[in-house]
Amino acid sequence: MGHPEQFPLKYVAVGNEDCDNTKPFYQGHYLKFYNAIREAYPDIQIISNCDGSSEPLDHPVDLYDFHIYTNANDLFLKKDKFSRTSRTGPKVFVSEYAVTDEGDAGKGSLLASLAEAAFLIGLENNRQCLLLFLRFWGTSLMQRVVFLSDIVHMACYAPLFVNENDRQWNPDAIVFNSWQQYGTPSYWMQTFFGESSGAVIHPVRLNSSYSGSLAASAITWQDNEDIFLRIKIVNFGPNAVNLTLSATGLEAGVNTSRSAVTVLTSNDTLDENSFDDPLKVKPVKSGLPSAAEEMQAMLVPHSFTSFDLALDEYGELVADM
């Protein structure tokens, strides 16, 4: 494939969206590939196109491929999809996900990014190791893991790049022409998840009259010598939400001077970035002078917020909201 030297290959997917009633020979063909690859390269993980999230698969597989393209409301509601999946059997590779409904997504809207963020929070809450990489189309507590975090192995957003002069798909993460580029709100949304791989996930309890429009996760991650508790919350609804954030079990105080809050929002849910206004929808980071083990927080309507609490030490932890 153009590589002059050998390179490590960890995964092979057999086919792409081929396991459906219109392609009845897929599973028979899949087994031929599976057996040949397994015999020659026993360490390679083999990915099936057949969806194993609802019922067990009838063929050997290391991971199964899951694609979802839908409207914003449906993807938001899918945030708990893998919380209801069997904890036994193959892992899932969510290799394609995005809000693509034209009325919701446009060329990359805030609304689309919020629904995708809620879906990703659901994956994070059920992840084995959430690897956020973008699909390119064409052009003492450190050992504590919540018991559900064992299903989602990897996840990919849909197209990474699109040339504005040759647009074949909406939305995409990064738009470019011969001399400019910008990230869509979905691109900026994914920057909130950069520390998910290798982080430790903690249980989250939501207690709010607006819980139906919220999605939340809590992780601890280390940046050099600093340890952070990151609480991510999507407010998918039109109302501001006041919360009391309470992290129980901290063995030392929160370092206020190193804590921060980052918010992704805009004036209109269908706001998009463009070459004329490339940062119209972007994350805004600020200090968090109220940072504490228990603190008051306000989520603006239609927003994605990340609270990064710098910790000196920490022990058993549960985040209450």
- What is the number of structural domains in the chain? 1
15: left (phi over 0), alpha (psi -120 to 50) or beta: left
Tell me the mean pLDDT in the region 133-162: 57
Q: Read off the CATH number of the domain in which 172 is found.
A: 2.60.40.1180
Cβ–Cβ under 8 Å, residues 171 and 113 = no
Task: Report yes or no on 37 lying in a domain.
Answer: no
Does residue 247 surpass a pLDDT of 60? yes
The number of helices, as runs of H, and strands, as runs of E, in the chain is 5, 19
Over pLDDT 90: what percentage of the chain? 63
**Is a pLDDT exceeding 70 seen at residue 146?**
no
pLDDT tens-digit readout, 167-180: 988 899 999 999 99
Is 11 domain-assigned?
no
Radius of gyration of the chain from its Cα atoms, rounded to whole angstroms: 21
Please determine, for residue 206, whether its predicted confidence score (pLDDT) is greater than 90: no
Max mean pLDDT among 13-22, 218-227, 306-315 falls in: 13-22
Q: Are strands 254-264 and 241-248 parallel, antiparallel or unpaired?
A: unpaired
Residue 305 sits in which domain range? Answer: 51-320
What's the pLDDT at 222? 84
Is 26 a member of any domain?
no
Q: Are 58 and 119 in contact (CB under 8 A)?
A: no
Q: Is residue 258 part of a domain?
A: yes
Lowest mean per-residue pLDDT among 195-199, 224-228, 244-248, 288-292 = 195-199
79 lies in some domain: yes
Residue 25 lies in a domain: no
